[in-house]
Amino acid sequence: MSPRDLLKHPCWSAKDLGAALPDSPHAVSVALPRWNDVVAYEEKDPICTKALKAIYPRFGLNPLVSEVANQAIRLSGFANSTAWPYPDLKTAKKAQLHCQKVCQNAQTSITEFHGLHCLIASNETTADAKAFWQHTGLGASSRQAAIALNKEQAPLQKSGIEARDKIIKRLAKIYECEEGLFSLHPSGMAALYSALEVITELQPGKPTIQIGFPYVDVLKLPQVIFSGGELILETDLLKLSKKLDQIKPAAIIIELPSNPLLQCIDLQGVSKIAHQKRIPVIVDDTIGSAVNINVLPYSDIVFTSLTKSFAGRGDILAGSLVISPHSPWREVLLKKVQAASFSSLSDSDSIALELTSQDVINRLILLNQSCLTLKKRLEQHPEVSRVLHPEKCPNFHSLMRPGAGHGCLLSFELKEGISKAKRFYDALEVCKGPSLGTNFTLACPYVLLAHYNELEWAEECGLPRHLLRVSVGLEEPENLWQRFEKAFRA
């Protein structure tokens, strides 16, 4: 039986609740087709939870990874515990050290299971173990779990090495810099984790600063795992300069553009001030994409979730890190990254990523165009009050490559607020769930998914709970618009 074609037959209605997006054992998204499904998911309603055939890998355990965890618990002999599979012993020990740092009496052990190493945590330690798993993105992948369970065959190590070499060559061509500046990681967050390990070694005990509204885990990672992180929404450069003098951060973290507001701060101005104060700048270019924007001249480290537009398929977790050739700390950062003890992208995930990213440039061109087309149509619709997209952002344009676009993501609000948003979302005939950058259009009420327990704070930051985010896919633009028009009539 062939996988479901999500371009023509999206998972959008009640009967699709819990379906894997895409139809793959390695899917990184899951169908939450109705507004109430999203609420039930956030409130851990057992009916909703039981229906889930997939989950975003850092937010929970993929079914294959969960099977490894359950077997590891039985092998360990510890009752009332949870297991968190990691690709190797050194990474599992990092998770264990985090738990012990948070709680000196943390009850943990590490059990080996067919090449994977599982952190076994008591019920009292589970919250800390889960936090490390979610925020760092260092956990074993579903492909590694499938191999450990003997459900998939391990590829030749030589094939994995060749795939990683090809991916790095591809990235180096896109970024227009030398291959030796790149490293591959199990996820985008794992890439940031490695960057922060290096920064912490150079500036121990200092917090980082994130400028602009954050993707939740980009802010939580330094706050929970490292030496703290502070959020600054102030974009005035003079005020920002004073803040930097007060806090004296180890580094500045910036997302370009921000998620889901799709705003860009003045990276060039911030970089100039930061470098004058000897503060490194870390940039997340996942949403903008290096195909569209060049942030290297104003950054010291750039990390990307290759899970998103680079892979495009929605069933590979991966990340990359590049040291900017323009950074005044280029050599010291490069040496630290090369000497760091981190897990690279697995052989099986590397092979899958290399294959699916071969068309990344041509695919991004189509996604750019389709997203811009939808954005302009939404702006003209009488029921839409606001569309968020980087097209008219001068800071984004200052970073754009010749002939580039603005990415695949937009957000919008409806004039009637949450009541209309619910009806629209339930009726919209596209796939609905977390993540972005897939070949198929993927929509979600992003604020509910990312900030359900802090909705009032999010609204104070300009994110109403009825905001809808759309990652535009490769559907024929006219057909996609007909689906939106049909939802407007709901």
Per-residue pLDDT tens listing for the chain (490 residues): 568 999 999 999 999 999 999 999 999 999 999 999 999 999 999 999 999 999 999 999 999 999 999 999 998 888 789 999 999 999 999 999 999 999 888 889 999 999 999 999 999 999 999 999 999 999 999 999 999 999 999 999 999 999 999 999 999 999 999 999 999 999 999 999 999 999 999 999 999 999 999 898 999 999 999 999 999 998 899 999 999 999 999 999 999 999 999 999 999 999 999 999 999 999 999 999 999 999 999 999 999 999 999 999 999 999 999 999 999 999 999 999 988 888 899 999 999 999 999 999 999 999 999 999 999 999 999 999 999 999 999 999 999 999 999 999 999 999 999 999 999 999 999 999 999 999 999 999 999 999 999 999 999 999 999 999 999 999 999 999 999 999 999 8
- Burial of residue 479 (CB within 10 Å: 0-12, 13-18, 19+) is exposed
Rounded to 5 degrees, what angle do the CA atoms 243, 245, 249 make?
85
Q: Are 187 and 314 in contact (CB under 8 A)?
A: no
How many other CB atoms are found less than 10 A from the CB of residue 472? 29
* 3 state DSSP class of 150: coil
In sequence order, what are the beta bridge partners of 468? Answer: 412
Strand 442-444 with 468-471, pairing: antiparallel
User: Nearest-CA neighbor of 340 among 144, 89, 90, 101?
Assistant: 90
**Domains with residue ranges and CATH for the chain:** 1-56+359-490 (3.90.1150.10), 63-140 (3.30.70), 157-356 (3.40.640.10)
Alpha-helix runs per DSSP H in 9-118: 35-42, 46-51, 63-76, 89-102
* 3 state DSSP class of 300: coil
Q: Are 288 and 192 in contact (CB under 8 A)?
A: no
- What would the DSSP string read from start to end of 103-127? -TT--EEEEEETTEEEEEEETTTHH
Could you give the C-alpha distances from 36 to 33, 47, 155, 411, 454, in angstroms and in order?
A: 9, 12, 42, 20, 18
Strand 409-414 with 468-471, pairing: antiparallel
Put simply, whether the predicted model's pTM sits higher than 0.85 gets the answer: yes
